[in-house]
């Protein structure tokens, strides 16, 4: 790829693609407002946070304003991995525990510690003795019975003499394939962890900044207020900007031990601020809700015409459609064929979930109804070619 603009990317042969997959350019590829903010601040002053500057302080205060008043501290990082690592360190320090609960199909980062906790892909690191993976029940297809329930996970940590430190969870269940748990599932899980003196870390690295259309943060729909929220990918629209947002008492207990050279620089703050400006001025959270609802309706009507399509999943501009097996080929093969056909017709989507059979859509938040129409027509054309004929 050589060029990006709004929801479009162009490759070196001049072929344009509708980007329905990439949630990093949150307010659109190369948004002029963000590019200008970056350029201006880079030409004015850019230092690390050993020197204080107005930009980082003003941005941190503005960002904290999007959270419940208890979440009043922002620690800047450069990647989602760093934010989650810091969140785990904060939780361990505050609770004196080491136990971590994650979901049975999750990814939270690429450090040694987080790679070991990864359950969505194979990593060389062993799943740690102090961690437990729980199933996210799915009202649309049934829970995966081989994994633990929340109560079992906590009981198992207790039996092993491991004190819980935290639940680390993405409330949009993005890597998990967007399962739909019963109402109250996450609130109940969070309460159980808190009853065992653990903290709740909401990983909003993929789904934050209004993507789910119902609120700025995807955990809000579950009625929980986390102790720590981690942010990343969309935060800087492609500039490496991330954060752990948390309660003051957690930072106080942790002490001033965290330093991250490139995090919280003037340029990072200027970029983050510009992203928030665009989200607000273009009413992108509302738009994610409206366009997401339209996409859902259009995809649902497509499922009525094509038996190989299953449930439509997700919220706002974080949505997916399940591909069912057709008796002749596994669902993951059909999903892979469809991703390729879409790419050939100039539309980029991904694939996720334990079976690799859910087409995953997370376009820039400027995605419009006309783009949904392009996606749905291309998907229908791809299905009409027949599956899995080749
Ligand atoms: C839910 C979630 N958390 C954390 C991360 C890690 O973020 P980064 O790649 O910026 O370290 C990812 C990356 O894919 C993610 O999907």
Structure confidence by residue, pLDDT tens digits, 110-154: 999 999 999 999 999 999 999 999 999 998 875 554 567 888 999
Ligand 1 centroid, distance to 167 Cα (angstroms): 16
174 and 108 Cβ atoms separated by less than 8 Å: no
Rg (CA), the chain: 21
Averaged pLDDT for residues 239-257: 95
What mean pLDDT value characterizes the chain?
Answer: 94
The pTM (predicted TM-score) of the whole model is 0.96
Ligand 1 centroid, distance to 233 Cα (angstroms): 7
Query: 9 - beta bridge partners?
Result: 4, 17
Give SS3 for 272: helix
Is the CB–ligand 1 distance for residue 81 below 6 Å?
Answer: yes
204: left (phi over 0), alpha (psi -120 to 50) or beta: alpha
Is the CB–ligand 1 distance for residue 204 below 6 Å?
Answer: no
Task: Kindly report, residue by residue over 279-331, the tens digit of the pLDDT.
Answer: 999 999 999 999 999 999 999 999 999 989 999 999 999 999 999 877 677 78
Tell me what pLDDT residue 53 has.
87
Largest CA distance in the chain: 63
Is the CB–ligand 1 distance for residue 244 below 6 Å?
Answer: no
Ligand 1 centroid, distance to 231 Cα (angstroms): 9
Tell me what pLDDT residue 102 has.
98
**For ligand 1, what atom is nearest to the CA of residue 170?**
1
pLDDT of 389 above 70? no
Tell me what pLDDT residue 84 has.
98
390 and 337 Cβ atoms separated by less than 8 Å: yes
Neighbour tally for 240: CB within 10 Å: 18
**For ligand 1, what atom is nearest to the CA of residue 207?**
1
Q: Write out the DSSP string of 99-146.
A: EEEEETT----SSHHHHHH--SS--SSPPPTTEEEE----TTT---TT
Is the CB–ligand 1 distance for residue 230 below 6 Å?
Answer: no
Cα–Cα distance list, 231 to 25, 111, 162, 363 (Å) = 14, 16, 28, 18
């Amino acid at each position: 790829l050589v060029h990006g603009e709004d929801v479009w990317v162009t490759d070196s042969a001049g072929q344009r693609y509708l980007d329905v997959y990439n949630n990093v350019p949150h307010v659109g590829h190369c948004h002029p407002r963000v590019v200008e903010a970056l350029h201006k601040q880079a030409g004015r002053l850019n230092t690390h946070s050993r020197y204080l500057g107005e930009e980082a302080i003003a941005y941190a205060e503005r960002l904290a304003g999007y959270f419940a008043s208890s979440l009043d501290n922002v620690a800047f990082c450069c990647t989602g991995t760093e934010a989650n690592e810091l969140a785990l360190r904060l939780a361990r320090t505050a609770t004196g525990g080491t136990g971590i609960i994650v979901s049975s199909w999750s990814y939270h980062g690429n450090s040694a510690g987080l790679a070991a906790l990864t359950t969505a892909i194979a990593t060389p690191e062993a799943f740690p003795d102090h961690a437990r993976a729980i199933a996210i029940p799915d009202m649309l297809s049934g829970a995966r019975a081989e994994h633990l329930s929340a109560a079992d996970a906590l009981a198992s940590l207790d039996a092993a003499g491991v004190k819980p430190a935290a639940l680390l969870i993405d409330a949009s269940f993005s890597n998990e394939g967007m399962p739909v748990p019963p109402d109250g599932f996450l609130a109940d899980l969070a309460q159980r962890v808190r009853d065992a003196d653990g903290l709740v870390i909401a990983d909003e690295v993929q789904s934050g900044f209004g993507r789910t259309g119902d609120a700025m943060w995807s955990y809000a729909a579950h009625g929980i207020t986390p102790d720590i929220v981690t942010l990343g990918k969309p935060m800087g629209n492609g500039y490496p900007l991330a954060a752990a947002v948390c309660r003051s008492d957690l930072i106080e207990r942790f002490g001033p031990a965290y330093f991250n050279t490139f995090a919280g620089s003037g340029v990072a703050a200027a970029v983050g601020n510009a992203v928030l400006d665009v989200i607000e001025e273009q009413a992108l959270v509302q738009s994610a809700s409206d366009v997401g609802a339209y996409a859902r309706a259009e995809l649902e009507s497509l499922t009525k015409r094509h038996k190989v399509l299953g449930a439509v999943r997700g919220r706002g501009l974080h949505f997916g459609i399940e591909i069912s097996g057709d008796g002749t080929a596994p669902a993951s093969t059909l999903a892979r064929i469809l991703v390729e056909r879409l790419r050939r017709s100039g539309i980029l989507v991904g694939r996720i979930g334990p079976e690799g059979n859910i087409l995953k859509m997370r376009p820039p938040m400027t995605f419009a109804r006309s783009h949904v129409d392009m996606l749905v027509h291309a998907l229908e054309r791809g299905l009409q070619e027949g599956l899995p004929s080749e």
